[in-house]
């Protein structure tokens, strides 16, 4: 992170002179323009409507106007830019890179080398004494004791594992690890769909709360005007005006609170989608509601065991660990490898000739019992842990499905009764207002009826949201939320 600091020091020298009389004058001092001020270095730079940090990270910028957004659009944005999902994709990419490094142990390795060197050898220091050469018919003076050699060589080197079962099973384990990370990305996508769906539905519910709160505020304003007129006409006590005024201000507070919640929930949705926090949104979908087709617990559990990616990921991780255990068990076996080279070698300024080496190597472990046994124990422990996690996850899935099905059924009943309560409360308020206008009752029954209607409307909105949330949760627990969220919402 780059940082910049700007400091300005001003000083004035003191002089021993007689002060002049104070004079008042209107003097216009020129203000420095923004262009004249020194600019601090910035860690971000604008690029194609976005900000790019010095580290290369692209930070999107809010659009000029509101962004029209359907639920499908919101999910598409999150699939592209959600931070947690991006991290899962990066992890998947890293694992696939690690597979290549493991695979390289099974592939032939070919390298090319070229070198030239100059050496000066002391044959006497190496044991070649002139007196020893006389036994072979050489005159001691014919062969110099100090020899200078200039050589140049170029060659291709080949290394290939012919038989290495531990490396083979480690490679297969790495392949399964890659499958596990891919399933992890799929599980992350399901979580993103669930998060976006809940956040989107919450904002729709907030908007409905605002609409109902404003409608009640309009009704409260009308009651306040009626109470004021009646009081001014001398046919209603001042307590009616005060009561209506308190109710009107209370409802105004409810409107402010609902609008604040709405704005905060939009910021939360922007965060999930990977959009700027200040991005204005216009949600185009309305509150969906439809009865969910009946499904037995057995059918739901069967679907979940076949589709839940977190369960599949545990199964794949167990397969990878099983292959690692095989690799540890086969470390007792010998390994066979081939290596060699072919090239040319000669004096730097003279004759070159082909040279080669071809050799096979067999390695047989004699005594590495502690290492082999320890690796097997580690693999066995990991495999046992994964199997226990798998069984525990199956029990958790069963619990989640049962809870979700109960939530769907109960919230559907709550929606039905909440709708009826809203209709009854609206009729009660209408009758109470008519009686108040006719002078039969004072304003107290009107205020009470308004509170009853507000509570009924809030319960209907919350019940509908909870029902949709429960249906999305059921789809997530079955493992089909990404593919079938529209079906479950009745969208």
pLDDT in tens, 355-379: 999 999 999 998 888 888 898 899 9
State mean pLDDT over 140-162.
84
Going through 189-289 in order, the beta strands assigned E by DSSP cover 281-283
Euclidean distance between CA atoms 317 and 173, whole angstroms: 9
Q: Is the pLDDT of residue 1 over 90?
A: no
Tell me how far apart the alpha carbons of residues 327 and 448 are, in angstroms, rounded to a whole number: 76
Burial of residue 277 (CB within 10 Å: 0-12, 13-18, 19+) is: exposed
Query: Rounded CA gap, 193 and 75, in Å?
Result: 6
Residue 322 tokens, joined? 């099983």
Q: What is the pLDDT of residue 50?
A: 52
d(CA 310, CA 308): 6
The confidence score (pLDDT) of residue 58 equals 56
Query: Would you say 317 and 386 are in contact if contact means Cβ atoms under 8 Å apart?
Result: yes
pLDDT in tens, 194-227: 999 999 999 999 998 898 899 889 888 988 988 8
Residue 142's pLDDT is: 66
Question: Could you write out the DSSP letters of every residue in 333-384?
Answer: S-EEEEEEEEEEEEETTS-EEEEEEEEEEEE---S-HHHHHHHHHHHHHHHH
When divided into structural domains, the chain yields a total of 1
Q: How far apart are CA 258 and CA 456, in angstroms?
A: 16
Structure tokens at 133: 């050469």
The per-residue pLDDT for range 425-477, each reduced to its tens digit, is: 999 999 998 888 887 777 778 888 888 888 898 889 989 999 999 999 999 99
Cβ-Cβ contacts under 8 Å for 81 (sequence gap 6 or more): 60, 273, 274, 275
Q: Is residue 469 part of a domain?
A: yes
Better-predicted residue by pLDDT, 349 or 340: 340
**With 90 as the cut, is the pLDDT of residue 352 above it?**
no
Residue 478 inside a domain? The answer is yes
Would residue 445 count as lying in a domain? yes
The pLDDT of residue 2 is above 90: no
- Helices 369-437 and 165-232, axial angle in degrees (round to 10): 10
Does residue 306 sit in helix, strand or coil? Answer: helix
Structural element, H or E, at residue 109: strand 109-122
Q: Which domain holds residue 413?
A: 71-98+169-321+375-489
In a domain? residue 406: yes
108 belongs to a structural domain: no
- Chain-centre distance for alpha carbon 313: 18
- Choice between 191 and 120, residue whose per-residue pLDDT is larger: 191
Say if 31 falls within a structural domain. Answer: no
Whether residue 274 is contained in a domain is answered as: yes
Going by C-alpha positions, the residue among 85, 87, 50 that lies closest to residue 279 is: 50
In a domain, 276, yes or no: yes
In whole angstroms, give the CA distance from residue 393 to residue 206: 35
pLDDT digits (tens, 9 = 90+) for 277-328: 888 998 998 888 888 888 999 999 999 999 999 999 999 999 999 999 999 9
What is the band of 139 on the pLDDT scale with cuts at 50, 70, 90?
A: low
Three state DSSP letters for 260-276: HHHHHHHHHHHHHHCCC
Global pTM value: 0.75
What pLDDT, on the 0 to 100 scale, is given for residue 6? Answer: 29
Phi-psi region of 127 (alpha: psi -120 to 50; beta: other; left: phi over 0): left
CATH number at residue 379: 1.20.1600.10
| Residue 146 scores a pLDDT above 60 | yes
229-279: per-residue pLDDT in tens? 888 888 888 998 999 899 899 999 999 999 999 999 999 999 999 999 888
Q: Is the pLDDT of residue 32 over 80?
A: no
CA separation for the pair 487, 491 (Å, rounded): 6
What is the structure's pLDDT at 36?
A: 45
Q: Distance (Å, rounded) from C-alpha 70 to C-alpha 73?
A: 5
Cβ count near 452 (within 10 Å): 18
Question: For the chain, what is the mean pLDDT?
Answer: 84
Q: Does pLDDT of 140 surpass 70? A: no
Residue 397 has pLDDT above 90, yes or no: yes
């Amino acid at each position: 992170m780059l940082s910049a600091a700007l400091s300005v020091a001003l000083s004035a020298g003191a002089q021993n002179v007689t002060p002049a009389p104070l004079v008042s004058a209107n003097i216009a001092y020129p203000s420095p323009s923004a262009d004249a001020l020194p600019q601090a270095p910035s860690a971000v730079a604008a690029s194609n409507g976005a900000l790019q940090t010095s580290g290369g990270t692209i930070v999107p910028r809010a659009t000029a106007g509101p962004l029209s957004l359907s639920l499908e659009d919101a999910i598409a944005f999150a699939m592209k830019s959600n931070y947690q999902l991006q991290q899962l994709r990066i992890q998947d990419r890293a694992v696939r890179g690690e597979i290549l490094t493991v695979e390289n142990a099974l592939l032939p390795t070919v390298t090319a080398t070229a070198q030239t060197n100059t050496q000066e050898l002391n044959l006497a220091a190496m044991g070649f004494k002139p007196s020893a050469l006389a036994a072979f018919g050489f005159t001691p003076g014919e062969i110099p004791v100090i020899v200078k050699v200039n050589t140049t060589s170029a060659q291709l080197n080949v290394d290939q594992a012919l038989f290495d079962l531990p490396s083979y099973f480690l490679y297969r384990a790495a392949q399964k690890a890659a499958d596990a990370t891919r399933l992890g990305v799929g599980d992350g996508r399901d979580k993103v769909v669930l998060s976006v769906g809940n956040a989107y539905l919450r904002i729709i519910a907030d908007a409905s709360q605002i609409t109902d709160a404003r409608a009640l505020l309009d009704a409260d304003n009308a009651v306040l005007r009626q109470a004021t007129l009646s009081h001014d006409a001398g046919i209603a006590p001042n307590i009616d005006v005060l009561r209506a005024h308190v109710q009107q201000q209370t409802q105004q507070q409810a409107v402010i609170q609902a609008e604040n919640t709405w704005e905060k929930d939009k910021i939360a949705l922007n965060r999930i989608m990977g959009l700027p926090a200040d991005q204005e949104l216009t949600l185009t979908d309305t509150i969906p509601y439809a009865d969910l087709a009946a499904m037995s617990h057995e059918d739901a559990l069967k679907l979940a065991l076949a589709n839940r990616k977190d369960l599949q990921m545990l199964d794949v991780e167990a397969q990878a660990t099983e292959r690692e255990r095989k690799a540890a068990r086969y470390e007792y076996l010998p390994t066979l490898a081939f290596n060699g080279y072919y090239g040319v070698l000669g004096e730097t300024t003279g004759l070159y000739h082909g040279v080669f080496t071809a050799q096979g190597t067999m390695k047989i472990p004699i005594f590495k019992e502690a290492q082999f046994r320890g690796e097997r124990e580690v693999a066995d422990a990991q495999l046992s842990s994964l199997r226990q996690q798998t069984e525990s996850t199956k029990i958790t899935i069963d619990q989640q499905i049962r809870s979700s099905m109960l939530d769907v059924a109960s919230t559907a009943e709550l929606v039905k009764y909440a709708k009826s309560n809203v209709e009854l409360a609206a009729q009660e308020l209408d009758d109470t207002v008519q009686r108040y206008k006719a002078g039969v009752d004072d304003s107290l029954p009107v205020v009470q009826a308004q509170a009853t209607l507000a509570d009924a409307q809030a319960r209907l909105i919350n019940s509908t949201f909870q029902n949709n949330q429960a249906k999305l949760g059921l789809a997530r627990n079955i493992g089909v939320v990404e593919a079938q969220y529209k079906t479950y919402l009745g969208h």
